Amino acid sequence: MKSILLLEDDLGLSEGLTFALKKQGYEIDGKRTIAEAKKAWNEKKYDLLILDVSLPDGNGFDFCKLVRQNSEVPIIFLTASDEETNVIMGLDIGGDDYVTKPFKLGILLSRVSALLRRTKIGSDDKTILESNGIKVDYLQGIAFCEGKSIDLTSVEFKLLCFFMQNPNIVLSKEKLYERLWDREGNFVEDNTLSVYIRRLRMKIEKEPDCPEKIITVRGMGYKWRVML
């Protein structure tokens, strides 16, 4: 049984989500403050975290930073704002996805299921990928650019791997959604994928505004262009 830590201070919402997630077969620990969540995190291993952003004693971003010091557990943010600055902040510090309040329960359940399924890389995949000066080690969960370690979030890491597994092939947004979230594209906020792409480009491209590795194919999607 997969275990989920839910950090949400709204009692009604927390109880509703706990009930719904338990019906899906998950084990849920609901906490309402960062202090309670820290204690739970130190005492137990979780398969996924759902973090509200605004909390009585801080915010979910701070707790995410704490977790990312020693764990790559999938993290979903619950936020009352879909402003791009908040989205970028959440993804940049290590979040894997976000859901804007108010949201449909089915969307959150779909994202939880997708992240849990995508956490482990299939055993039939190659464990080492190398292309365009980038080297990825699946087993270690690390990536290098020109020999220097790159600090990637878990979704950025999966996105980079997917591109490198499909060199010189145009990948539609729908295909990328399917790979990363395993759900229909209309369940994803419009700017989510573009934010991931932009953040990844900033970490691997010499000139992010004029990318050479991750190319935008207008009207079709994106392509990992292998440079000789």
Do both 23 and 92 map to the same domain? yes
Phi, psi angle pair for 59, to nearest 5°: -145, 165
| H-helix segments, the chain | 11-23, 34-43, 60-67, 84-92, 105-118, 154-165, 173-180, 192-204
Q: Which of 97, 118, 139 is the last residue of a domain?
A: 118
The pairing of beta strand 58-59 with beta strand 54-55? antiparallel
pTM over the 0.85 mark? no
Mean pLDDT of 208-223: 94
Do both 12 and 109 map to the same domain? yes
| pLDDT score of 120 more than 70 | no
Confidence of residue 29 (pLDDT cuts 50, 70, 90): very high
* pLDDT tens per residue, range 76-90: 999 887 666 777 788
| pLDDT score of 50 more than 90 | yes
Amino acid sitting at position 128: I
Mean pLDDT of 62-67: 92
The answer as to whether 37 is a domain residue is yes
Do both 57 and 100 map to the same domain? yes
Mean pLDDT of 57-66: 92
The answer as to whether 147 is a domain residue is yes
Do both 112 and 134 map to the same domain? no
The answer as to whether 192 is a domain residue is yes
The CATH number for 46's domain is: 3.40.50.2300
When the pLDDT of each residue in the chain is averaged and rounded to a whole number, the result is 86
| pLDDT score of 126 more than 60 | no
CA dihedral sign, ordered 71, 75, 79, 82: positive
Range of the domain at 43: 3-118
The CATH number for 175's domain is: 1.10.10.10
| Six-digit token string for 225 | 């262009």
* pLDDT tens per residue, range 149-159: 999 887 888 89
The answer as to whether 123 is a domain residue is no
Q: Which of 85, 118, 151 is the last residue of a domain?
A: 118
| pLDDT score of 83 | 67
Q: Which of 68, 89, 118 is the last residue of a domain?
A: 118
| pLDDT score of 163 | 92
The pairing of beta strand 97-100 with beta strand 75-79? parallel
Residues in the chain: 228
Do both 167 and 188 map to the same domain? yes
Confidence of residue 186 (pLDDT cuts 50, 70, 90): very low
Angle, helices 192-204/173-180, rounded to nearest 10 degrees: 90
The answer as to whether 186 is a domain residue is yes
The answer as to whether 182 is a domain residue is yes
Do both 72 and 100 map to the same domain? yes
| pLDDT score of 216 more than 70 | yes
Do both 33 and 57 map to the same domain? yes
Domain count, the chain: 2
